[in-house]
Amino acid sequence: MWGEIFTGTGMWNAVVFAIVLVVVAIIVRLIRSTGIEGAAKREHGGEPYYFGNEVPESAHIRASNLYWGFLKTMESYYKPLVGEHTGNVNDFMAWAVLTMAGILLLMFFM
């Protein structure tokens, strides 16, 4: 078929992958149809179970608190990194000059 790519060590064909996805979806549909009819349309059918109460507003976690565990462990990596992004124009120029000097040194001594 047309859309194949050959990397140096492998092969990838997207149309075959899509056909496999469609076949798996058909099998899943067949398995689901052996269940109870109309199970999702009963009262409180597809909603989250909140011990019988109303779902409150604060059940939705805000964006800043989402990856709390990951950010807390990597605190010693993040503190200097966010500290360097000060927004001060003088620091921008300093980084530019330092990087140009670094590239020049690498070109000459490598």
Which residues here bind another protein, judged by CB under 8 A? 2-5, 7-10, 12-15, 17-18, 21, 55, 57, 59-64, 66-67, 70-71, 74, 77-78, 81-82, 85-100, 103-104, 106-108, 110
Closest CA to 4 of 39, 106, 104, 14: 14
Question: Closer CB to another protein, residue 7 or residue 33?
Answer: 7
Question: Closer CB to another protein, residue 8 or residue 38?
Answer: 8
Q: Are 13 and 4 in contact (CB under 8 A)?
A: yes
What 3-state DSSP class applies to 88?
A: coil
Question: Closer CB to another protein, residue 25 or residue 71?
Answer: 71
Beta strand residue intervals within 1-110, DSSP E = 4-6, 11-13
